[in-house]
Amino acid sequence: MELLRNISQQPTNSNRMYEPNQPGSCELRRKRTEDHGHAPAEMSKIITDPATGKCYCRGKVLGKGGFAKCYEMTDLSTSKVYAAKIIPHTRVSKPHQREKIDREIELHRVLHHKHIVHFYHHFEDKDNIYILLEYCSRRSLAHILKARKVLTEPEVRYYLRQIVSGLKYLHEQEILHRDLKLGNFFVSESMELKVGDFGLAAKLEPAGNRRKTICGTPNYLSPEVLNKQGHGCESDVWALGCVMYTMLLGRPPFETTNLKETYRCIREARYSLPSSLSPQAKQLISSLLAKAPEDRPHLDHILRHDFFSQGFVPERLPASCCHSAPEFHVSSPAKSFFKKAAAALFGGKRDKVKYYETLNKLTKEEEEIYKLRHDLKKTVISQQQQSKQMTEDGRPPSPSAGRPVALATEGLPPTTRDTIRLIVRGSLGSCSSSSECLEDSTTGSVAETITSVLRGCLENMPKDDIPNGTECSNLQWVTKWVDYSNKYGFGYQLSDHIVGVLFNNGTHMSLLADKKTVHYYAELGQCSVFSTSDVPEHFVGQVTVLKYFAHYMEENLMDGGDLVSQPDTHMPRLYLLQWLKSDRALMMLFNDGTFQVNFYHDHTKIILCTQREEYMLTYINEERVSTTFRLSSLLTSGCPADLRQRMEYSLNMLLQRCN
């Protein structure tokens, strides 16, 4: 918020915060309007909204700005705490000043996004204008950086991912922020980031009619803004590059002791990239700070950059990150090089673990482990063969193979009747024993069956009604996953705590919930069972990787939903046949026909499986709350629009797999 301007400036090279009277420390066109007469009367502690009669108690000052102060303010009737921006009428007495406040209110009040500071209410009395906003108890990233000096790369990924989410929403509403900086990124009690302060925000205009006024914070201005070429979404992307640079290095990229020189550096896009930064961080900063606006990446592409796809991104940060570096250390029960690699890969305090110092000390083998990575830019398919089971006459088998079921399907086309029978009956018609499940023909057959089931459901169910949920007994599904397919394979943890790895050579290993028993499935289906205390010599390497994945997921990843399963200490019922990734989701196909799709950005999931010979579809929403539907119910009652969209996307992924 604007009122946090003077406390939210970025640290200089000496790691001190800008003082308000320093050159370049306050926003252009936000000049201080100090009163030169008598000091204003003391503001009342109890403030009443004249329109509603609600009373609020004014608390401590949270920040100050050119026009206003921000206070903690409590609704006395509900005890809800707000951040209240209070603007004296004397500060906005001129028409253009009042118009500016009204425009900020008008833009902000309609915004609703989890990474945007929420606007609750505004009112005014004879002395002041009051704007009640979401209270963020951890203050801002500027405060965190002031205490920390620099942030680790995993933290920067965590914060940037949320900033990009909020900024993408703003741009979709055709709103430019025009003042992105650390002081305008607020942090909630649960360490969620919220973009705030819309005092300089403006509606996006057509290219030929864009605003050409110079406004913002000097260190974050883009070349086109300085050159009065107009504001576009690209200017916000430039500021994002400045923010990333500042978080990693503790100073803005174009900071100098002279404002004129700072502007010269910005116009020339001239800045330094220290060797302490990782290559991926350098590449992303360089693209964000491209001199020409058209050369900067679109927001949709930023999160697909190697900086994110090849590095650890924590799901949550502890509150201790506000004042000290987090510990992302992951130790492995394997050889010592795993320990060194994990320590370097997942951080630790910067004075203890230096990214490149560690890399330079590793041997060639250790370096390979250290560089475990995956690529979200392209769709990646696991390295199993994708041949399809063929009948004697060369055609794929009918997906509706199974026992007949008496249904009211007269009058429907034969293909529709077969699909409905399949949906209601839940018959896979293949994969009769576990010894066949890793064979490529079975994989193709199971995938085609699921494709037919999903397509039939989507084509035949109504669009508007919403069915009732049902119970799903002991559903097994993937709660955590790790993609190290560049080197080893794909690892996952099931809801019953079994951990599996589908290796790049097509073999599969499962570590049971007792952490003592391993089941190994070879390419042609032979199953071997052995104890972790007595591993055959030729399996030692794979068991080491299996344990490494299990330990990493246990220590670093949180469960993806509220469904739990009873541990299976005997024969694993579920193990992975194939997986596929797109830029939006991860698809997993299992031996018993269970099909799961995880959507990255909102963490929603759908799981299709059979229970008591009937297909069931479970949907886990953004709050990790699950609802299960019978597919036969969906055929008659329809489903929510958001679930239908995800089912359609999942079908497209299956079709892509089959092509």
Annotated binding-site members: 85
Do 253 and 291 meet the contact criterion of CB atoms below 8 Å apart? no
Annotate 524-539 with three-state secondary structure.
CCCEEEEECCCCCHHH
Among 59, 60, 51, smallest CA distance to 75 is for 59
Amino acid at 607: I
Residue in the block written with tokens 């920067």: 156
Compute the distance between CA of residue 265 and CA of residue 559 in angstroms, rounded to an integer. 46
Query: Environment class of residue 561 by beta-carbon count within 10 Å: exposed (0-12), middle (13-18) or buried (19+)?
Result: buried
Among 125, 124, 159, 128, smallest CA distance to 142 is for 159
Among 422, 389, 498, 454, smallest CA distance to 587 is for 454
Annotate 577-623 with three-state secondary structure.
EEEEECCCEEEEEECCCCEEEEECCCCCEEEEEEECCEEEEEEECCC
Per the annotation, binding residues for ATP are 85
CA atoms within 13 A on the CB side of 503: 17
SS3 461: coil
Q: What is the dihedral of CA 107, 193, 253, 172, to 10 degrees?
A: -40
Catalytic residue, chosen from 35, 75, 127, 179, is 179
Compute the distance between CA of residue 257 and CA of residue 262 in angstroms, rounded to an integer. 8
Catalytic residue check, 75: no
Active-site residues, by number, are: 179
